[in-house]
Amino acid sequence: MNKVALITGITGQDGSYLAELLLEKGYKVHGLIRRASSYNTVRIDSALNSSEHLHLHYGDLSDSTNLIRLVKEIQPDEIYNLGAMSHVAVSFESPEYVADIDGMGTMRLLEAIRINGLEKKTRFYQASTSELYGEVREIPQKETTPFHPRSPYAVAKMYAYWITVNYRESYGMYACNGILFNHESPRRGETFVTRKITRSLANISQGLESQLELGNMDALRDWGHAKDYVRMQWMMLQQKVADDFVIATGKQISVREFVRMSALEAGISLVFTGEGVDEVATVSAVDRDKAPAVSVGDIIVKVNPKFFRPAEVETLLGDPTKAKQKLGWVPEITVEEMCQEMVQSDMSIAKQHMLLKSHGFDVSISLES
């Protein structure tokens, strides 16, 4: 019998990779999608076109009756709760919404399992986050490191973390938290910093954009690849006993270093000068084949305080020892390889746009991020 999984957030970065992984493993996969005014399934279109075992259902984590009905109809063996308003900076703009979806939404889904009497059947994965550590109390951060969330997003995720633990302890449910550090890919949303950087530098290299504006370039993150991390989400639900795990690479670099690495991949060498809001990155050498629109001396990166956050998480570095020892999980893709893949993917999109432009088509690039 095929196992049956329900994924919330299936249209997002992780949801799309996880759906592909589960389909490869022979699962029947059900995904919760939100009705939008335009198509929002671009990341899962190829899976939808190639598999008859992928089914989508309209719904929302704010809608209890919808969740209860779907869980009743689908009778899932596994639920992966990846759905969330996942942008930390945006959560300062909409704290009530993020509490409702990221916090209460998790409880609604756990209740849907319980109301349908599926506590002993349905295993539950909660997408927890390194943002729980926020103002870090210990370096590196592991499962026992105290939490100190620094944004409405992280505070909402803290409720979700503990309600997941609570349902495990109260009702004997197989419910676990993956405390995942930042993970990226060519499918990463364009407003998260890595993708913003790779996309913008690719556009600059081809002449579609002239400058990349960033916030805090000193921020340090432990960046891994989403494909490695969704494999881990599945592994966590295949254990004998439910448990919580930190998933990270154990290495960190700054936003500035990610800019430098991405620029080199796009054929641009950069020199950083100035400090704080006055910091800029100037082109010191250029590979003209790769970056025809860029010249030595161009200032192509600068700081815009509008991207600073009311409270910042300065440094995150995970210790994945428990996941390595108990689950045998080892990340396979390095940050350098991931950066190359992201830049190459964005360069190929930028070149397609330039080709269209050269044939007179109107190519408008959204720059609001």
Pair 249, 335: CB distance under 8 Å: yes
Q: Find the binder of ligand GDR among 8, 16, 81, 182 (CB under 6 A).
A: 182
Report what 300 binds from ligand GDR, ligand NDP, none; CB cut-off 5-8 Å by kind: none
Report what 338 binds from ligand GDR, ligand NDP, none; CB cut-off 5-8 Å by kind: none
Pair 222, 252: CB distance under 8 Å: yes
Stretch that binds ligand GDR, among 60-68, 124-132, 231-239, 353-361 (CB under 6 A): 124-132
| Least spacing, CB of residue 115 vs ligand GDR, in Å | 28
Q: Which two tokens stand for residue 249?
A: 């690479």
Stretch that binds ligand GDR, among 15-23, 69-77, 210-218, 340-348 (CB under 6 A): 210-218
Q: Find the binder of ligand GDR among 214, 246, 291, 338 (CB under 6 A).
A: 214
| Least spacing, CB of residue 367 vs ligand GDR, in Å | 12
Our finding on whether 193 is near ligand GDR (CB under 6 A) is yes
Q: Closer to ligand NDP by CB, 32 or 176: give it.
A: 32
| Least spacing, CB of residue 174 vs ligand GDR, in Å | 23
Q: Closer to ligand NDP by CB, 8 or 116: give it.
A: 8
SS (H, E, C) the chain: CCCEEEEECCCCHHHHHHHHHHHHCCCEEEEEECCCCCCCCHHHHHHHHHCCCEEEEECCCCCHHHHHHHHHHHCCCEEEECCCCCCHHHHCCCHHHHHHHHHHHHHHHHHHHHHCCCCCCCEEEEEEEHHHCCCCCCCCECCCCCCCCCCHHHHHHHHHHHHHHHHHHHHCCCEEEEEECCEECCCCCCCCHHHHHHHHHHHHHHCCCCCEEECCCCCEECCEEHHHHHHHHHHHCCCCCCCCEEECCCCCEEHHHHHHHHHHHCCEEEEEECCHHHCEEEEEEECCCCCCCCCCCCEEEEECHHHCCCCCCCECCECCHHHHHHHCCCCCCCHHHHHHHHHHHHHHHHHHHHHHHHCCCCCCCCCCC
Site string for ligand GDR, 23-62 (x = CB under 6 A): ----------------------------------------
Q: How many residues of this chain interact with ligand GDR, rule: CB under 6 A?
A: 22
* Range 52-91, binding ligand NDP (CB under 6 A): 60-62, 82-86
| Least spacing, CB of residue 42 vs ligand NDP, in Å | 9
Q: Is the dihedral of CA 298, 309, 152, 137 positive or negative?
A: positive
| Catalytic sites, residue numbers | 129, 131, 153
The C-alpha atoms of residue 104 and residue 57 are separated, in whole angstroms, by 20
Our finding on whether 307 is near ligand GDR (CB under 6 A) is yes
Q: Find the binder of ligand NDP among 4, 12, 173, 197 (CB under 6 A).
A: 12
Q: Closer to ligand NDP by CB, 34 or 351: give it.
A: 34
| Least spacing, CB of residue 16 vs ligand NDP, in Å | 8
Q: Closer to ligand GDR by CB, 28 or 199: give it.
A: 199
| Least spacing, CB of residue 351 vs ligand NDP, in Å | 25
Our finding on whether 15 is near ligand NDP (CB under 6 A) is yes
> Which has the closest alpha carbon to 124: 6, 2, 245?
6
Report what 98 binds from ligand GDR, ligand NDP, none; CB cut-off 5-8 Å by kind: none
Report what 88 binds from ligand NDP, ligand GDR, none; CB cut-off 5-8 Å by kind: ligand GDR
Note the residues at the interface with ligand GDR (CB under 6 A).
86, 88-89, 129-131, 181-182, 191-193, 196, 214-216, 219, 221, 255, 307, 309, 312-313
